[in-house]
Amino acid sequence: MKLERLLSILIVLLNRRQVMAKELADQFEVSIRTIYRDIETLNMAGIPIMTQQGANGGIRIMDGYKLERNILTYDELASILTALQSLSTAHTLNQQPMLAEKLQMLVPEAQGESLALHLQRFRIDLSTWGKYPFLEHHLTLLKHAVEEDRIIQFQYVDANGTNTERVVHAYTLLLKSQQWYLYGYCTTRSDFRLFKLFRMKDIQLLEQQFDRSEFIDEANTEPATNSLSLSQPWNNWTAPENTTEIVLSFEESAKSMAEERFGVEALVPQPNGTYQVTASFPADRWLDCFILGYGPHVEVLSPPHLRDRIGALIEKMAAKYRS
């Protein structure tokens, strides 16, 4: 992509006094002739770049020319680079590593070592514990769909095991708690829906495109000229009206598991030797599975309706094994 290469060449020249054409050609995997054409394009854009032949020759920006590079402070650049490195762990089909490398070029050489130490101190790993090749394939298709405002068709298996065919306007890809989701307008349901990628199969990109601006109101977004903080439904998942406060009691044998999930300070010791935890979660089937995952080592103390529901599920499970 020429525009991206031009920007990259400019960043290199801003951070180095002089560079050889062959070095640029090798770095960007193009011919030397292409590099010289790119230099001519940059010159036509008003950036005075000089070329000098000979043993000590090379390509450089004219002495005295300055291009503002301090749009971001050192701390801001370090924070962005940390976020980009972390995001690159979510899946392999992204441009974050390349963008991170370009941004590092904006850091003066005197601060390069300090930046490297900063990036070693903070790391957020968004990758899953296992490898799922089909997930990368799905992400590739859906990335194209959301970037090109394409309509897609797929089979969806919901939490009840019901399989339906969906035709969806691919609006947004969402990564939350190591799970990928697609948010889009479902023509089958005539409404916006959130689809978990692990429940999608036979994904097809259709030729039709949709007009994203038509769905601003339906998608609960508010057009903003100076802000990226659009109001989206997933921003409200943890709002009080969408969650239920629960109180759990953990046995001593499950203390370490509870500490890993809720934090050491969240566990309140009780006179009977158990540990009590209060937390808020969306009240759905995920919560049932989450609680049951602790087996006989946890007890739901409140709310009563959740305690009754978990008790009924345990009875149903026990009946299967008694038979």
Task: From first to last of the 323 residues of the chain, give the pLDDT tens digit.
Answer: 566 788 788 878 877 778 998 888 888 888 888 898 888 888 887 888 888 887 777 898 887 665 555 555 667 667 766 666 666 655 554 555 555 666 666 666 666 677 677 666 676 666 666 666 677 788 889 988 988 899 999 999 987 788 999 999 998 888 877 788 999 999 988 888 889 888 999 999 999 999 877 655 444 444 433 333 344 555 565 667 778 899 999 999 999 999 988 999 999 999 999 999 999 987 777 789 889 999 999 999 999 999 999 999 999 999 998 87
Number of Cβ atoms within 10 Å of the Cβ of 200: 22
Q: Quick check: pTM over 0.75? A: no
Q: In the prediction, which pLDDT does 222 show? A: 44
Q: Which of 316, 283, 317, 321 is nearest to 300 (CA)?
A: 283
Helices 21-28/32-44 angle, 10° precision:
100
pLDDT tens column, 222-277: 443 333 334 455 556 566 777 889 999 999 999 999 998 899 999 999 999 999 99
- Report the distance separating Cα 150 and Cα 209, nearest Å: 4
With 0-12 CB in 10 A as exposed, 13-18 as middle and 19+ as buried, what is 13?
Answer: buried
CATH 3.30.70: which residues of the chain?
240-322
- The reported pLDDT for the residue numbered 30 is 85
Predicted local distance difference test score (pLDDT) of residue 1: 52
At the topology level of CATH, where does 2-61 sit?
A: Arc Repressor Mutant, subunit A (1.10.10)
What's the pLDDT at 159? 72
Give span(s): CATH 2.30.30, the chain: 134-235
Q: Could you tell me which CATH class the domain 134-235 is placed in?
A: mainly beta
Q: Find the distance separating the first CA and the last CA of the chain, reported in whole Å.
A: 64
Sequence-distant (≥ 6) Cβ neighbours of residue 309 within 8 angstroms: 288
Pick left, alpha or beta for residue 193 (phi over 0 → left; psi -120 to 50 → alpha; otherwise beta).
beta
Phi, psi (rounded to 5 degrees) for 317: -65, -45
Tokens for 302, please give them.
Answer: 């409140």
Domain with CATH 1.10.10.10 in the chain: 2-61
Is the domain defined by 240-322 classed in CATH 3.30.70?
yes
Angstrom CA distances, 91 to 23, 128, 143, 205, stand at 30, 9, 12, 20
